[in-house]
Amino acid sequence: MTTFTLDDMRRIMGGCAGVPETLDLAGDIGEVSFAELGYDSLAVLEMAARIQQRLGVRIPDDAVDEMKTPQAAVDYVNRRLAA
C-alpha cells in the first residue's frame, strides 16, 4: 500500500506554496501549524489540490479546513489511502 510521508508533504508545500522565511521545511515541522509556518488558507488549499492530483485522493474543503499542521494532512491522506 502507498503511504504518504511527511517528506512527500514537504515537497508539495515547498513546490506549490513556497518556502517559509523563518523556519526550515527540512526541520521538525510536523506539528507546527501552517499558520506559524507562514502558510495561509489559500496556500493549504493549493497543497490539497496538488495532493489530490498526485495521489487521486479526494479532499473535501471542510477536510482542508481541519488540516492545521503538515502531520494532520499526512494522517488524513493516509487514512484515505487505507480506506
The answer to whether 8 and 78 have CB atoms below 8 angstroms apart is no
Residue 27 or 82 having the CB closest to another protein: 27
Q: Which of these ranges, 2-10, 18-26, 28-36, 72-80, lies near another protein under the rule CB under 8 A?
A: 18-26
**In the stretch 21-40, what mask flags binding to another protein with x, by CB under 8 A?**
x----------------xx-
Cell 514537504 maps to which residue? 10
**In the stretch 38-67, what mask flags binding to another protein with x, by CB under 8 A?**
xx--xx-xx--x--xx--------------
- What is 14-71 written as a DSSP string? HHHH---SSS-TTSS-TTS-HHHHT--HHHHHHHHHHHHHHH-----HHHHHH--SHH
> Would you count residue 74 as binding another protein (CB under 8 A)?
no
